[in-house]
Amino acid sequence: MRETPLFIDGPAGQLEALYLDFPDARGIALICHPNPVQGGTMLNKVVSTLQRSARDAGLITLRFNYRGTGASAGEHDVGAGEVDDAEAAAKWLRSKHPELPITLFGFSFGGFVAATLAGRLEAQGEALAQLFMIAPAVMRISSYDDLPLRCPIILVQPEDDEVVEPAAVHQWSAALPRAHELLKVAECGHFFHGKLTDLKDLVLPHLTQ
């Protein structure tokens, strides 16, 4: 199964995206990429691994480039603007599949985007299946109130992360006032070099429960 390149109307102009649809899917998944200022795009290999994991679990997938990234219009906002972009992508995906539960994934900066989007969508009445935050930029999340209250949250944190301080994620997790899972990946850096199979092996069972 190959993803289809397309463009989605976003708040700052068109958003470049890759969409995988297939019959008899059991859900839909939106995947948010790392910080574009540091070279993050929807083609990042961790994002690609998450897309394949979701696909193999029977989920229709959508990944996209934030404003000012790749062929997406606009300029980087590195904050609320990217969450607005993700919301536009989620609503496009929801309009295509109104009956299917939605799972959100975010890697690094995308972890902040996905988490903030999850809180926003839940406040709008959306029942989310799961939220996966991979090596998430938790320092960007200003308040636990921005997070969803009901959907399952799974944190995956590399123990040798050179970009997001593991201790910061551990502390954030310990203070998070709601049930969630924290999965630690030993001897693993931020970009999961040599550990992408391990990442998939961690994520896939949670998607197929």
Domain ranges of the chain: 4-207
Q: How confident is the model at residue 78 (pLDDT cuts 50, 70, 90)?
A: confident
Specify the pLDDT at position 1: 85
Outline where DSSP puts E strands in the chain: 4-10, 13-20, 27-32, 59-64, 102-107, 128-134, 153-158, 181-185
The tens digit of pLDDT for each residue in 182-202 reads 999 999 999 999 999 999 999
Name the class of domain 4-207: alpha beta
Query: Using CA atoms, how far apart are residues 208 and 190, in angstroms rounded to an integer?
Result: 25
Asked if residue 34 has pLDDT above 90, the reply is: yes
Specify the pLDDT at position 136: 98
Asked if residue 209 has pLDDT above 80, the reply is: no
The tens digit of pLDDT for each residue in 94-147 reads 999 999 999 999 999 999 999 999 999 999 999 999 999 999 999 999 999 999
Specify the pLDDT at position 38: 93
Q: What's the chain's average pLDDT?
A: 97
Neighbours of 193 (CB within 10 A): 10
Distances (CA, A) of 207 to 8, 92, 166, 188: 26, 22, 24, 22
Asked if residue 181 has pLDDT above 90, the reply is: yes
Specify the pLDDT at position 97: 97
Which amino acid, one-letter code, is at 57?
A: A
Sheet containing strand 13-20, strands side by side:
4-10, 13-20, 59-64, 27-32, 102-107, 128-134, 153-158, 181-185
Angle between helices 80-96 and 109-123 (to 10 degrees): 60
